[in-house]
């Protein structure tokens, strides 16, 4: 059964190759169906593989081919089938399929339709390699592959130079992170002689022999890789810019799947982090700071996709908080629910942008409720889910993170509540400004306003359902017990794949925390409601810029500008100095100097060879006399 897993990445790869090489001349309908059905097939196989794992099959390794054999290196290209990888397979192909279907509607009028579907297929292929790889190296193949696909898709509308710049930024910032990942992998290899998950963690436990200090170095290096991919401080700046890509890309790559690769990697290495205090606390603090940063910036943004992008940054931060506190399965839980509701929100925003003829500024929207009923309702569900209202998906996963933080570190706990409050506020601000009030766009836009086609709204509806019920895979003890259900199915499922936290909370604390979380969320929602619905305040540019705090947030803490001044400009200057002075004057100067020295010396001696016979005779006689005298 496990052997079938090879098919999972193979379908999208075949789709990519077919569309790229033979796609010309086929109708968009055919290409769209083809691309979507490859993912559907992958999804079906994933379900099969998943069921065997659910029924307690042992983790299996499926070898595909030999890859690098050099010195003590011996790396196969193999897949690892275990609960962690199969659950990732399931939601990558599931959400991936929905987004493919959505794209056939969203991109229908784009001239690059074939190219787009091909890239999406390729992306899914690499993403599947990433989670299936049985070693860090194979994972790295997927890791880089999704990076390239992300690069190509951010810059998909390449005629606008702005998009190309965003793509390049994403690629380069990710490469900085990859450097950390490579260093981590190399250190790991140096101390254990293997990079296979199987040898390191699951079966053997080679990783346990690593000395503490080195373990910290490895942990932090790997985490730097995760920072790049999952947009954590200080490598988060690429993600908001990445919104330059088409919206389905933002949903699939920059919300649901690729950006959670960092969380996958850390969860996969849980045995490495579980016993390493320092590396873990680095993750916690990076996570909570990122989360706070993202949530506060999102409060002031006016671009519908930018708000969602910063919200993603913030939610990813929360996932890392869970990872750093040892609650690996909780992080994975939040990854899954987040994939549902964030994909829903992005696709919903895409539907809005589609209806608004490309407008992304929420100050020009308003009152869309009556024009786009399906989009409105599903978007509302997504908004409630992310805000953490019982019993929507986001509530359970986020509540669990908050609960773990409560047990581990009270400061982080309070900050995470603050993040929750901000989240509920900015999401409802977004919701009210977009769907309520009066329409503020141009007359032309109003005329064109329409609900999106079925191919777009059906995925929205499915994701909305998932955003409601998705949380039930991880019911907390208190709720599960009351409802007589098997509580926390996900924790049980992942038991063997990741390290489980040893936190056991009393029932009353659990309930209390849930009540607090609910109050925070509802309070924020009510506040947003009074401002944006009841009082009808608009996100007006000039008025918003009054206080310096708002200015700071609106300009995203000026982080891009700071990087520019601290890194890009100095490097540029040094390079110019090298190019203008050191290279031509010093280094080549010495070379040329050697040349002219030889030439000049030769020139001096040449003067002796004047051709004048009398001089030669004169010198000859002087020499003769000298010899005679010395005798």
Partner 1 sequence: MLTLLLIAIPLLMAGAIFVMGSKSARQLALFTGIAELLVTFAAIWIEKSGTHPELLSFNQQWIGPLGISYAFSLDGISLVMVLLTTLLLPVIVYASFNKTFKNPHVFYGLMLLMIASMIGAFTTSDGLLFYIFYEFALIPIYFIILIWSHAEGRARITLKFFLYTLFGSLFMLIALLYVYQHSHSFAMADLYAAGQSLSAYEQGWVFAGFFIAFAVKIPVFPFHTWQPATYNAAPTAGAMLLAGIMLKMASYGLIRLVLPMLPEGVAEYGTWALVLASISVLYASGMAIVQKNFKLLIAYSSIAHLGVLTAGILSGNAQGVQGGVMEMLSHGIITVGLFIVYDIIESRMSHDEMSRMGGIRDVNPQFAFLFFVIVMGSVALPMTSGFVGEFCFCSDSTNTAPHLLLLPGLLLYLEQCICCAPFRP
364: closest CA among 444, 435, 440, 303?
Answer: 440
Of the two residues 145 and 287, which places its CB atom closer to partner 1 in the complex? Answer: 145
Using alpha carbons only, give the angle 410, 415, 420 rounded to the nearest 5 degrees: 125
Report the alpha-carbon distance of residue 464 to residue 462 in Å, rounded. 5
Which residues lie across from 196 on neighbouring strands? Answer: 135
- The CA distance from 268 to 84, in Å, is 8
Nearer to partner 1 (CB atom), residue 448 or residue 576: 576
Minimum gap (Å) between residue 114 Cβ and partner 1: 11
Distance (Å, rounded) from C-alpha 18 to C-alpha 386?
38
Distance, in Å, from the CA atom of 8 to the CA atom of 129, rounded to the nearest integer, reads 9
Our CB check for partner 1 shows the closer of 14 and 148 to be 148
Nearest CB to partner 1, comparing residues 71 and 484: 71
**Residue located via tokens 């799947």:** 257
Tokens 């290899």, residue located: 189
When the beta carbons of 212 and 523 are compared against partner 1, the nearer one is 212
Q: Which is nearer to partner 1, 143 or 435 (CB)?
A: 143
Residue 350 Cβ vs partner 1, minimum distance, rounded to whole Å = 24
Nearest to 138 by CA among 192, 70, 64: 64
Task: Compute the least distance from the CB of residue 271 to partner 1, in Å.
Answer: 21
Q: Which residues form the interface with partner 1 (CB under 8 A)?
A: 68, 70-73, 115, 137, 140-141, 143-145, 148, 155, 158-159, 164, 168, 171-172, 175-176, 178-179, 182-183, 185-187, 189-190, 571-572, 574-576, 578-579, 583, 587-588, 590-591, 595
Closest separation in Å from C-beta 180 to partner 1: 9
Q: How far is the CB of 145 from partner 1 (least distance, A)?
A: 7
Q: How far is the CB of 183 from partner 1 (least distance, A)?
A: 5
Longest dimension (CA), the chain: 124
Q: Measured in whole angstroms, how far is the alpha carbon of residue 192 from the centre of its chain?
A: 29
Cβ of residue 143: shortest distance to partner 1, in angstroms?
Answer: 8
Q: Closer to partner 1 at the Cβ: 71 or 602?
A: 71
CA nearest 367: which of 357, 358, 377, 376? 376
Question: 209 vs 73, 277, 569, CA distance in Å?
Answer: 20, 16, 43
CA distance 441 to 359: 9
Residue with smaller CB distance to partner 1, 581 or 616: 581
Question: What's the min distance (Å) between Cβ of 187 and partner 1?
Answer: 6
């Amino acid at each position: 059964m496990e052997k079938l897993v090879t098919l999972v990445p193979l379908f999208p790869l075949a789709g990519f190759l077919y569309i790229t090489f033979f796609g010309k001349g086929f109708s968009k309908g055919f290409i769209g169906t083809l691309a979507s059905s490859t993912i559907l097939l992958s999804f079906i196989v994933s379900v099969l593989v998943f069921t065997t794992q659910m029924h307690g099959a042992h983790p299996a390794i499926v070898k595909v081919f030999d890859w690098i054999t050099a010195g003590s290196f011996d790396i196969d290209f193999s897949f690892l089938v275990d609960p962690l990888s199969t659950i990732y397979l399931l939601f990558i192909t599931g959400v991936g399929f929905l987004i493919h279907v959505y794209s056939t509607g969203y991109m229908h009028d784009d001239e690059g339709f074939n190219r787009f579907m091909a890239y999406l297929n390729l992306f899914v292929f690499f993403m599947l390699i990433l989670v299936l790889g049985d070693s860090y190296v194979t994972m790295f193949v997927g890791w880089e592959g999704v990076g390239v696909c992300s690069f190509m898709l951010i810059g998909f509308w390449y005629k606008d130079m702005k998009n190309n710049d965003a793509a390049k930024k994403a690629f380069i910032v990710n490469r900085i992170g990859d450097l950390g990942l490579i260093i981590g992998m190399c250190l790991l290899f140096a101390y254990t002689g293997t990079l296979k998950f199987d040898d390191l963690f699951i079966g053997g436990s080679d990783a346990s022999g690593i000395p503490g200090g080195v373990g910290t170095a490895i942990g932090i290096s790997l985490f730097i890789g995760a920072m790049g991919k999952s947009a954590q401080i200080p490598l988060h700046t690429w993600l908001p810019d990445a919104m330059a890509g088409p919206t389905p890309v933002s949903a699939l790559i920059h919300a649901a799947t690729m950006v959670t690769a960092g969380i996958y990697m850390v969860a996969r290495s849980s045995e490495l982090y579980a016993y390493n205090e320092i590396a873990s606390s680095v993750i916690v603090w990076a996570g909570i700071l990122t989360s706070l940063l993202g949530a506060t910036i999102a409060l002031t943004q006016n671009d519908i996709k930018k708000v969602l992008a910063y919200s993603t940054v913030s939610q990813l931060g929360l996932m890392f908080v869970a990872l750093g506190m040892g609650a690996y399965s909780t992080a994975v839980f939040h990854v899954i629910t987040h994939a549902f509701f964030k994909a829903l929100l992005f696709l919903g925003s895409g539907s809005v942008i589609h209806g608004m003829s490309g407008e992304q500024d929420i100050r020009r929207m308003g009152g869309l409720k009556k024009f786009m009923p399906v989009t409105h309702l599903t978007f509302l569900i997504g908004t409630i889910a992310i805000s953490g209202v019982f019993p929507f998906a986001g509530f359970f996963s986020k509540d669990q993170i908050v609960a773990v933080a409560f047990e581990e570190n009270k400061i982080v706990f309070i900050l995470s509540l603050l993040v929750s409050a901000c989240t509920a506020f900015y999401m409802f601000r977004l919701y009210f400004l977009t769907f309520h009030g009066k329409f503020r766009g141009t007359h032309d836009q109003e005329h064109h306003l329409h609900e999106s086609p079925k191919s777009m709204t059906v995925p929205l509806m499915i994701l909305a359902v998932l955003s409601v019920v998705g949380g039930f895979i991880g019911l907390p003890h208190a709720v599960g017990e009351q409802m007589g259900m098997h509580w926390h199915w996900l924790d049980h499922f992942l038991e063997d794949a990741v390290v489980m936290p040893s936190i056991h909370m009393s029932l009353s604390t659990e309930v209390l925390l849930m009540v607090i979380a609910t109050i925070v969320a509802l309070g924020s929602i009510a506040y947003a409601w009074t401002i944006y619905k009841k009082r009808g305040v608009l996100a007006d540019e000039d008025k918003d810029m009054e206080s310096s705090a708002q200015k700071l947030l609106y300009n995203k803490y000026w982080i891009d500008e700071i990087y520019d001044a601290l890194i890009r400009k100095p490097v540029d200057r040094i390079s110019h100095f090298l190019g203008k002075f050191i290279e031509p004057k010093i280094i080549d100067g010495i070379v040329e100097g050697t040349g002219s020295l030889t030439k000049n010396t030769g020139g001096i001696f040449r003067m002796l060879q004047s051709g004048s016979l009398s001089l030669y005779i004169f010198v000859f006689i002087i020499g003769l006399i000298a010899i005679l005298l010395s005798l």
